[in-house]
Structure 1
Amino acid sequence: MRTFYEFFAGGGMARAGLGEGWQCLFANDFDAKKAASYVTNWGSDDMVREDVAKLTSEDLPGQADLAWASFPCQDLSLAGAGAGLKGERSGTFWPFWKLMLALKEQKRAPRLIVLENVTGALTSHEGKDFSAICSALSRAGYRFGAVVANAVNFVPQSRPRLFIIAVASSVSVPGNLESDGPVEPWHSTALKEAFQKVPKTHRPKWIWWNLPTPPQRETVFADLIEEKPTGVKWHTQEETKKLLGMMSDLHLNKVKAAQKSGEIKVGTIYRRTRPDGKGGRVQRAEVRFDDIAGCLRTPAGGSSRQVIMVVKGRSVRSRLLSSREAARLMGLPDSYELPARYNDAYHLTGDGVVVPVVRFLAEQILEPILASGDIASKRAA
């Protein structure tokens, strides 16, 4: 059985993606509500609700094959304050890393480490934050590489995320998992530029991970919509009219085109602040009818909540995205138990990692590496 630690675990979406072939030895999150959801769905045996900075290596049992860390993104995202790895939230990477170094000293270092974050981590502080992470991995004896995976290849949600995947130097990597150079679409322009800023002394440990073409997604956004949504109500005609009144001509024309199509069209809306052309700012409602949802976001305030718009001929209806629909957009099964309060459920899902993306990376990289190492160990014995 493969084993793992799950840091910044939230509701355990990395655990869901890894699947039944993996055993969790330890899970951690500071947020009481997220930890409660983790316990509800996975049990209390592994979860420790505590500030990662207060943990010690003695809190971590055994030796895990994998340490997964989806550390907070707020200081690295475009919507954040730009504090980067020096920020209060994203800076929690360093206490996590201190634990990894302590395990190394005790000869219990995980064979694999996966760090997940927003793609803004590539350009934060002009690439210095990404470079700092890569340098830390290299100094600790890991080979490492990164991929940018957009969840839209797996679920109908536009959600690009950065995954830094590191493997201990003592562990062999099957040759087919390494490429001589960048591989589309996994190595974006921003990633290739970030790599150029990694110190030359550490670049020899870089791996261009070789992944196959993403699978063909089988669902569209409309497939995930609840017929009888839980926890949300359809807007009144006045509320929908107000939403339409916040649209620019560009987006109103999208609605009109949907009305003329003769089909039922399901779109999503975010409210965004845009220039008003007069030197000021105005809030706009921006709609998309391309069969995918916008990226789930969790900033405070109602504007961060995604709205559904359903168009059927002259009929135009709108409402908030339900918490179950948000969970489906993250690849969670309907058997996953969500918090009762809407805001708690929306924050839990929007702050997580997309389950099928984790499964894909586990299947294509993590599990083959571990299997190769297990085979080599048996042969040596």
Structure 2
Amino acid sequence: MTASFKYYEFFAGVGMARMGLGDDWQCLFANDCDDLKYASYADNWDGEHFDKRDVALVSAADLIGQADLAWASFPCQDLSQAGAKKGIGDADGLDATRSGAVWPFLNIVKSLADEGRHPTLLALENVTGLLSSNGGNDFQALCSTLSDGGYRYGVVVADASHFVPQSRPRVFVIAVRREVPVPRALRSDLPQAPWHPPTLLRASAALPEKNASDWIWWSPGLPPGQRVRELVDIVDVSDAADWNSAEATSRLIGLMSDTQLERLAAAKTAGRPMIGSLYLRMRPSREGGGGNVQRCEIAFGDTLGCLRTPKGGASRPRIIVVDGESVRTRLLSVREAASLMGLPDEFKLPETYNECFKLIGDGVVPSVVRFLADRILEPLAQHSSAFVSLIGERKTSA
């Protein structure tokens, strides 16, 4: 089958965006400088077009053909709540950060435009901290660069919880060449819930006038009515799972505050098994002397907390299952985590626990990508192709 669309994928990871785009999209170029991610990508996909160099070493000449889309899930370490919050630095590289790898990517896009090979569409994905980092200046700088590069743009904030049982809100900056008319069905005059939350409203309102004129309120429509799999279908509550010992669970309960103990007591009276996320966090001590103490916190619901790359034992994702007076705790398994991301059982992952969670925690949920491709990216790409053909016919007839 011949693919309808072509794309470049930067910061490709293990190819979760590729999975979401699907067979209608042909990957012309993929890039990621992480050896572990490359190895996993090659295990699951055709790695023929994969470039393992740092994005700063890649040039437009390394990219073949002309793509409809350039996708970039650039590093989030300096934008996330768990990170250093250094932001994206600056475009000239004098103040470089890990999340600042977005600037070399945008330089490549500019070079492609200079050659007349600019992608019609850009999609930049990251954590919601992108909207507020450095007092909003990072987001403004990014939008300004897109405007200067000849693109109009907007943002969809999509929480993966609409698609999989995991709370994972992410920012998707979707840009289209300024000369391409945007179909009325793909945009709205006003922001729409749930795609345009208050944090985005504040960020867009702060844009300088010269950039605000390029802003688009994308309208992807209603989220799906239900998830493909629910939490109870993913989490193993059987005795065969690798549960902590009773003593270890008791120690965790002993780290709970009164508020958390009340939450645990309420779960015991639910009349059904309750699955929740369990977190180990440092909190200010309420006793004399100040300082922080380790606390155990829990949250119950139909989703688990956002998966992330573990940096130590305390950051590993844990679950708690309460069924009446029975309370059991354990680490989330690799396969459960993969399912929470929407990866199929046959998706190949590394053998070690930390390596698996490094790949999973850095990924984008494929079903979210598919939704955006179906609702915005593919209609835009089709419309652009028809528009270019029409312009070509008019020039020929003239």
Q: Please classify the TM superposition score into its range, dividing by the shorter chain length.
A: over 0.9
Tell whether 2:86 aligns with 1:100: no
Q: 1:175 aligns with which of 184, 201, 213?
A: 184
2:353 equivalent in structure 1: 342
1:180-199 equivalence runs, <5 A: 180-199=189-208
Structure-1 residue corresponding to 2:235: 225
Aligned counterparts of 1:132 and 1:154: Cα–Cα separation in 2: 31
Instruction: Write the letter of the residue equivalent to 1:369.
Output: L
The 1:272/1:217 distance shift into structure 2, 3 A limit, reads farther
Tell me, in whole angstroms, the C-alpha distance in 2 between the residues paired with 1:73 and 1:176.
32
- What is the distance in 2 between the residues matched to 1:370 and 1:348? 30
Flag the 1:44–1:63 CA change in 2: closer, same or farther, 3 A.
same
SS at match of 1:84: coil
- Specify which of 113, 123, 137 is matched with residue 146 of structure 2: 137
8 Å contact 1:172–1:369 — kept in the other structure?
no
| Contact residue 30 and residue 49 of structure 1 kept, 8 A | yes
Question: Superposition pairs for residues 269-284 of structure 1, below 5 Å?
Answer: 269-278=278-287, 279-284=290-295
Distance 1:227 1:44 in 2: 37
Aligned residue among 332, 336, 341 for 1:325: 336
| Distance in 2 of aligned mates of 1:108 and 1:234 | 54
Instruction: Tell me whether 1:146 sits opposite 2:146 in the alignment.
Output: no
The one-letter code sitting in structure 2 at the alignment partner of 1:43 is D
Which stretch shows the higher mean deviation, 257-266 or 163-172?
257-266
- 1:209 aligned to 195, 203, 218, which one? 218
Q: CA deviation at 1:139?
A: 0.4
Q: How many pairs does the alignment contain?
A: 380
Report the Cα distance in structure 2 between the residues aligned to 1:237 and 1:47, rounded to whole angstroms: 47
CA drift of 1:377 comes to 4.0
Q: Which amino acid aligns with 1:67?
A: A
- TM-score normalised by the chain length of structure 2: 0.92
CA–CA separation in structure 2 for the residues paired with 1:17 and 1:304: 27
> In terms of mean alpha carbon deviation, does 99-108 or 301-310 score higher?
301-310
Q: Give the gaps of 5 or more residues in structure 1.
A: none
1:35 corresponding residue in structure 2? 38
Which TM-score applies when normalising by structure 1? 0.96
User: Counterpart of 2:14 in 1: which secondary structure?
Assistant: coil
Q: Does 1:238 align with 2:241?
A: no
1:61 paired to 2:64: yes
Deviates more, 1:32-41 or 1:72-81: 72-81
Letter in 2 for 1:272: R
Structure-1 residue corresponding to 2:10: 7
Distance in 2 (CA, whole Å) between partners of 1:360 and 1:151 is: 11
Once the two structures are aligned, what percentage of the paired residues are identical?
51
Letter paired with 1:328 = S
Distance 1:316 1:76 in 2: 36
Q: Distance in 1 between matches of 2:202 and 2:26?
A: 36
**Rounded Cα–Cα distance in structure 2 between residues aligned with 1:264 and 1:72:** 37
